[in-house]
Amino acid sequence: MTKVETEVFIAAPCAKVWELVMDWSSYPSWNPYYARIEGDAKPGARLRVQIQTPGLPPATLKPTLWYLTPERYCSWHGNLLTSLVLDTEHYFELQPSGANGCRFRHGERFSGLAAKLFGGLIDRLVRPRFAAMNEALRARAEGQALTPTETTTPKLGAARAANPALGN
């Protein structure tokens, strides 16, 4: 079995982080890895998950949502051809941390023949994508990210006013 797991501390309540993680319709505006997730957010539902990996064409997966514990845990299960070739369980786990923070764990377990043969390659392809999503989620939850329709002028202006070293 190959396991890829990433983790990030987010200075926002888990309820806020959960809201962003489960708002799949907003993913195209901020998520660098998951271009789209469609389906019902309830166990047993079939999902359509589109991933984007630089240098590769987008891939659409059709996993089944397995577990859903609001503000704590979400996972889905999928396979390639059969579970003997490649079986996966993808998960998001949230844990309160400190007075108003959240520890976000994002991972996937891979098993089957492909995982045994290509475990190192899977790790090298997937880990940076998970980390990129984690950082985008952290920035969005902490109010540091901008949507394409927002302008940077007010925030940059405020940052310059607060720190004269930034110049004009």
pLDDT tens per residue across span 98-157: 888 999 999 999 888 887 777 788 888 889 999 999 999 999 999 874 444 333 333 333
pTM of the full predicted structure?
0.79
Q: Identify residue 145 by its one-letter amino acid code.
A: A
CATH (residue range 2-166): 3.30.530.20
Q: How far is CA 154 from CA 38, 144, 158, in A?
A: 34, 12, 6
Give the model's pLDDT for residue 117. 77
Domain ranges of the chain: 2-166
Phi, psi (rounded to 5 degrees) for 88: -130, 150
